[in-house]
């Protein structure tokens, strides 16, 4: 089975990778041979505090939340957040508007009625305003904008360096995979033959995974439209379960449901890798007020995510060797494996 992507109820930005894989211009393939890994750890980027002061129940967090809950100001924040992303993209040469226009004319959009699962009920926590979209992430405009937004995310990790979007994304992804491979080698885990990318959105992360583990490409990538907490796939189906940049968009109860489902899908000796924002990152903890306010205005579950004990949740589900690697100055990979005797 090839890299399989579950376009879950909690997606990264959009839910339209159901049915057959999208056919779109191959503007960017994951260049495994030319990868520039930044290394698996970045100890200097780790702060002593467990989370940023602008999340949770801290006074600063309450002040920011009060501002966000003031509707006229919230509307301006959403607009400001979107404009910040787009202007960053344009300055870096990312064709944001051109990408949207191209996808509006794409084959996948023309056949959207065939690939959308009209019977799928989206969870309420994912239909609130996200990323400046009033109706949440699950809409076509969000899907059209996810790739340039991902480029911006990668560029902002190393904003003091003169990197192209491809160089930044390559460094970000390869650091994640370096951490996964080191973990698998340390614990003598299963070779990756079958893997799933849960919350894959439009498949950006899936294509990078497939390029990193080419032996899993015996069949083509298959996309499915499902709720990540209950995929309906068979037990013990995968050697690697990857969840990339999804958890920070979920409340605690959804993260718990996600981890439970990931554990069910793992084969004995398989690896769970959950990559996301790092609450202990000095960069994230020291964001300027304007930026963290804009961030919280577009990420409604930030307070829960930055306080949630994902490592403890994985351990409670029976995963072993659970630990966290700082893959870059902003992000972490939380890793665990299912014992072979399970």
pLDDT digits (tens, 9 = 90+) for 188-219: 999 999 999 999 888 889 989 999 998 876 66
User: Average pLDDT of 292-312?
Assistant: 90
Domain 4-337 matching CATH 3.40.605.10: the answer reads: no
Predicted confidence band of residue 31 (pLDDT cuts 50, 70, 90)? very low
pLDDT at 1 exceeding the cut of 70: no
Contact between 81 and 287 (Cβ < 8 Å): no
Domain boundaries, the chain: 4-337
In this predicted model, what pLDDT tens digit does every residue of 122-136 receive, in sequence order?
888 888 888 878 777
pLDDT at 221 exceeding the cut of 70: yes
Give buried/exposed letters for 196-215 (b at 16+ CB in 10 A, else e): bbbbbbbbbbbbbbbbbbee
pLDDT reported for residue 244: 95
Residue 103, class by beta-carbon neighbours within 10 Å (0-12 exposed, 13-18 middle, 19+ buried)?
Answer: buried
Sign of the dihedral through C-alpha 117, 123, 125, 129: positive
pLDDT reported for residue 126: 83
Dist. CA 10–CA 16, nearest whole Å: 12
């Amino acid at each position: 089975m090839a890299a399989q992507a579950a376009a879950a109820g909690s997606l990264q930005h959009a839910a339209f990778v159901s049915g057959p894989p999208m056919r779109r211009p191959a503007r960017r393939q994951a260049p495994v041979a030319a990868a520039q890994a930044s290394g698996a750890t970045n100890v200097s980027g780790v702060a002593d505090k467990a989370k940023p002061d602008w999340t949770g129940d801290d006074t600063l967090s309450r002040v920011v939340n009060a501002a966000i809950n003031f509707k006229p100001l919230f509307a301006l924040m959403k607009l400001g957040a979107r404009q910040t992303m787009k202007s960053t993209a344009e300055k870096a040469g990312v064709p944001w508007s051109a990408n949207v226009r191209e996808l509006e004319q794409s084959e996948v959009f023309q056949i959207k009625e065939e690939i959308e699962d009209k019977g799928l009920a989206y969870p309420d926590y994912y239909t609130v305003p996200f990323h400046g979209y009033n109706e949440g992430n699950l809409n076509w405009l969000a899907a059209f904008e996810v790739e340039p937004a991902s480029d911006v995310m990668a560029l902002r990790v190393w904003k003091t360096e003169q990197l192209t979007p491809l160089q930044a994304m390559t460094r970000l992804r390869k650091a994640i995979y370096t951490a996964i491979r080191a973990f698998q080698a340390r614990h003598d885990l299963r070779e990756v033959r079958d893997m799933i990318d849960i919350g894959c959105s439009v498949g950006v992360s899936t294509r990078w995974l497939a390029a990193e583990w080419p032996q899993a490409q015996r069949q083509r990538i298959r996309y499915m439209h499902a709720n990540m907490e209950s995929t309906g796939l068979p037990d013990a189906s995968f050697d690697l379960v990857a969840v990339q940049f999804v958890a920070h968009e979920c409340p605690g109860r959804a993260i718990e449901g996600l981890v439970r489902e990931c554990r069910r899908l793992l084969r004995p000796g398989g690896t769970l890798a959950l990559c996301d924002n790092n609450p202990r990152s000095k960069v994230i903890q020291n964001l300027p007020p304007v930026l963290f306010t804009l961030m919280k205005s577009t990420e409604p579950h930030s307070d829960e995510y930055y306080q949630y004990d994902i490592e403890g949740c994985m351990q409670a589900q029976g995963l072993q060797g659970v630990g966290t690697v700082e893959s870059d100055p902003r992000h972490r990979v939380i890793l665990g494996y299912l014992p072979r005797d399970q």
